[in-house]
Structure 1
């Protein structure tokens, strides 16, 4: 009789555990149709693999990367009574979804939207958005902070290609340098997409610059590096995330610097990367961040349940261990640390500067 009682208790515990797991439902919002579908499939695959590994359920919905799609997806999530939503790659979709999700008190962990106002307006909107990825201004702020420190004792120049992107990068760096009592020896705007930049290199050499930040495309920076080498100018070039684009006809010179976020597959837990491989899923693009977002969602839900605090509070100011390292959100919902790092081209790959 005692054995039957114990067995019954075990069965009851398993039943309750299964019921608790069934109550945990994570929504996955991603563009699963249209031109961005290839990226949405990365989100769906990563989140699905994490859900399988962590014993929770997910509900994937196509947000179509549009406002209408985002609002429709949000309503579907509310009807399904999901606990939290992960994903969203497009500003239009998430901004249309958030009013609906806010009314249902459902937080969102976005893996791809960089729009700064999404979290900056939290006090006004009340949207519970947590950004597992860079902000729009993280790149230029990282350029400014890192190069101001690295080039403190060098003669440096700042050039840009005249685009909004290039000018914002250049101006943020120039302003940070000025705050640090540093002054570039040369500042200019260059013409992009030329076959050569001999004229620009000549002016940089005359100014005595040995380090140059160029706000522009990787192809232009590669051409600058090639021409500087031909003129024996002794210049090291640096650029932003654009340098990670597929290589063009002109290779980057050894020593070229890139300020960019890490390649997630290079820093991820090898066991998780192997799990991706076992399922024939490439751990590229948004797949690993989506995996990590589900891990964060599960841990935050557990923390909220054990502490009795709202899920939004459980997501704020706590360290979460994930496949791509420790994640912590600040009071606005942004990552507590800028993910951009400095990389150096070794002739084949960009490798972290600190490993050189």
Structure 2
């Protein structure tokens, strides 16, 4: 009995006897926050994972073993033990850093490959070699977003005075520092830098300081809600800047204050899976089954595409397959480097128009490359 787990037996028809099925069965572990604040995302991920197993029909049989990690370290440690005891061949899911760290520590001695789909901690990969963790992270790093932002905005803002501001949080400061360093390396340091207290009802003081600085563009490392407050204050002050930011802005379409966001806002975000050409077939299947095309459904499907394609007879061979294969998924290609990091940067520069994000056209300097 799995103390903190739910066992979803999904034995697929393979054209062999039931006894042979049992001999060929391979178990894929899913560590997901089935309870807690992220349970909705976990449910969507599980929908995609189960659909992938059903659609891909791997040889032999595959069984999904789902453990509730609760996005909590103590619960995740129990979940990791349950998955290890269930005899899984590979594990995926891991939407939260707490669950990912519990897994790599708890399953290190087994050699079982751990495919992290959601957690983004850089330390998972920095400590990988020293700790002998068999971890592979398909989720991108925040540094990937900063790199794409610097690549695109260094061309767009060439010769323009620009500012960088952050909300003072660990995330905001780190993201701002990474972007700033890359822009400085490109020979385009900011003319003005500032920070502000997050989650305030007004940022009029910040807007006044930006106006006084003489900049025409501002990079904001903060939440979508704080961006909306800044944009509202800009409108009231009749101030005009080209605004840009990072992945946190992908929540804009779902917040009430989005009405204050001017057309032309730039954001480095991952494209919505429903817009991807390689996901069209899955999108059609979801529509047929009346399943909402939520991003985490696609993420669960993609994670199982990789897990099933990498499955071998033993952990060492499975890890070798993860190291050597370029996996084609509904989210695009996934290609792991020697550190377990996905080489493919999924971020793109998008522009806010009529209440939605759309791909931003390249600058002439970029098109000429």
Q: TM-score range by the shorter chain?
A: 0.7 to 0.9
> Following the alignment from structure 1 to structure 2, what is the Cα–Cα distance between the partners of residues 93 and 198?
40
Note if 1:32 corresponds to 2:42.
no
> Following the alignment from structure 1 to structure 2, what is the Cα–Cα distance between the partners of residues 30 and 21?
27
Instruction: Indicate the RMSD between aligned Cα atoms, in angstroms.
Output: 2.9
Q: Give the match for residue 265 of structure 2.
A: 256
Unmatched 5+ stretches in structure 1: 1-11
- Structure 1 residue 54: deviation in Å? 1.6
Note if 1:83 corresponds to 2:85.
no
Q: Give the match for residue 275 of structure 2.
A: 266
* TM-score, structure 2 normalization: 0.82
Q: How does 1:89-168 map to 2 (within 5 A)?
A: 89-168=95-174
Distance of aligned partners of 1:34 and 1:233 in 2 relative to their CA distance in 1, 3 Å threshold: closer
> Following the alignment from structure 1 to structure 2, what is the Cα–Cα distance between the partners of residues 275 and 25?
25
* TM-score, structure 1 normalization: 0.85
Q: Is the 8 A contact 2:111 2:315 kept in 1?
A: no
> Following the alignment from structure 1 to structure 2, what is the Cα–Cα distance between the partners of residues 308 and 131?
17
Q: Give the match for residue 47 of structure 1.
A: 49
Note if 1:341 corresponds to 2:351.
no
> Following the alignment from structure 2 to structure 1, what is the Cα–Cα distance between the partners of residues 82 and 167?
44
Q: 2:25 aligns with which of 14, 23, 26?
A: 23
Q: Is the partner of 2:136 in helix, strand or coil? A: strand
- Structure 1 residue 198: deviation in Å? 4.4
Distance of aligned partners of 1:348 and 1:296 in 2 relative to their CA distance in 1, 3 Å threshold: same
Q: 1:287 aligns with which of 272, 282, 297?
A: 297
Distance of aligned partners of 1:183 and 1:280 in 2 relative to their CA distance in 1, 3 Å threshold: same
> Following the alignment from structure 1 to structure 2, what is the Cα–Cα distance between the partners of residues 68 and 184?
43
Distance of aligned partners of 1:338 and 1:223 in 2 relative to their CA distance in 1, 3 Å threshold: same
Q: Is the 8 A contact 2:333 2:344 kept in 1?
A: no
Q: Give the match for residue 9 of structure 1.
A: none
Q: Is the 8 A contact 2:273 2:279 kept in 1?
A: no
Q: Is the partner of 2:260 in helix, strand or coil? A: coil
Q: Give the match for residue 244 of structure 1.
A: 250
> Following the alignment from structure 1 to structure 2, what is the Cα–Cα distance between the partners of residues 68 and 169?
29
Q: Give the match for residue 67 of structure 1.
A: 73
Aligned length: 342
> Following the alignment from structure 1 to structure 2, what is the Cα–Cα distance between the partners of residues 234 and 122?
46
Q: Is the 8 A contact 1:158 1:214 kept in 2?
A: yes
Q: How does 1:133-212 map to 2 (within 5 A)?
A: 133-212=139-218
Q: Is the 8 A contact 2:216 2:240 kept in 1?
A: yes
> Following the alignment from structure 1 to structure 2, what is the Cα–Cα distance between the partners of residues 308 and 30?
21
- Structure 1 residue 121: deviation in Å? 1.0
> Following the alignment from structure 2 to structure 1, what is the Cα–Cα distance between the partners of residues 108 and 292?
33
Distance of aligned partners of 1:187 and 1:48 in 2 relative to their CA distance in 1, 3 Å threshold: same
Q: Give the match for residue 6 of structure 1.
A: none
Q: Give the match for residue 299 of structure 1.
A: 309
Q: Is the partner of 2:29 in helix, strand or coil? A: strand
Q: Give the match for residue 316 of structure 1.
A: 323
Q: Is the partner of 2:139 in helix, strand or coil? A: coil
Q: Give the match for residue 4 of structure 1.
A: none
Note if 1:329 corresponds to 2:336.
yes
Q: Is the partner of 1:147 in helix, strand or coil? A: helix
